[in-house]
Amino acid sequence: MILVDPADRVLLFRFDPPAPYPKGTGWLTPGGGLGPGEPPAAGAVRELYEETGQRVDPADAGPVVAVCSGQWSTPDGTVFDAVDSYFFIRARNARVDISRHEDLERDVLQGHRWWTLAELATTGDQIFPVGLAGLLERLLAGDVPDHPIRLPWR
């Protein structure tokens, strides 16, 4: 989910990026895996609620605005194939409730913050998805793509 608050800031969670990304500070959007047979919009709003406390009806998730795919691996060498779909949601407020985080999220996520477009465009930290600043600029201008934009994995 690309979650934007009333001040046009996007919510990102801090984490240590996995291989093949360089070590350093990384930030990623809320989201996660789908359950068996779970539609992408339903999974996205479920994950959004679990990770942020923000409630959104799946019908209000809108279209997928971007996609990317690639591989990443855990420190023990387990390789995962990922296919990520991104929805754009405007939050009613900037409150974030992390009390529903699962154990993995509590272990991996190291905090959160709301980012302005200018901060995204100038940070030296790794931002995921790659290309979020350009996509966010377009979305904030009201230019929602007719078809999902393919973002680079790296």
Query: What burial class does residue 95 get, using C-beta atoms within 10 Å of its C-beta: 0-12 exposed, 13-18 middle, 19+ buried?
Result: exposed
- Which residues does 120 contact at the CB level (< 8 Å), separation at least 6? 10, 127, 132, 133, 136
Most confidently predicted of 14-18, 29-33, 100-104, 117-121: 117-121
CA gap 10, 1 in Å, rounded: 10
**Contact status, residue 109 vs residue 15, Cβ threshold 8 Å:** yes
Mean pLDDT over residues 124-140, rounded?
96
pLDDT for position 80:
85
Domains and CATH numbers, the chain: 2-150 (3.90.79.10)
pLDDT for position 121:
93
Confidence of residue 120 (pLDDT cuts 50, 70, 90): very high
Q: Is the pLDDT of residue 4 over 90?
A: yes
Residues 6-22 pLDDT 10s: 999 999 999 988 777 88
The DSSP code for 60 is G
Confidence of residue 104 (pLDDT cuts 50, 70, 90): confident
The identity of residue 149, as a single letter, is I
pLDDT for position 147:
96
Residue 56: C-alpha distances to residues 10, 16, 44, 131, 134 (Å): 16, 28, 9, 25, 25
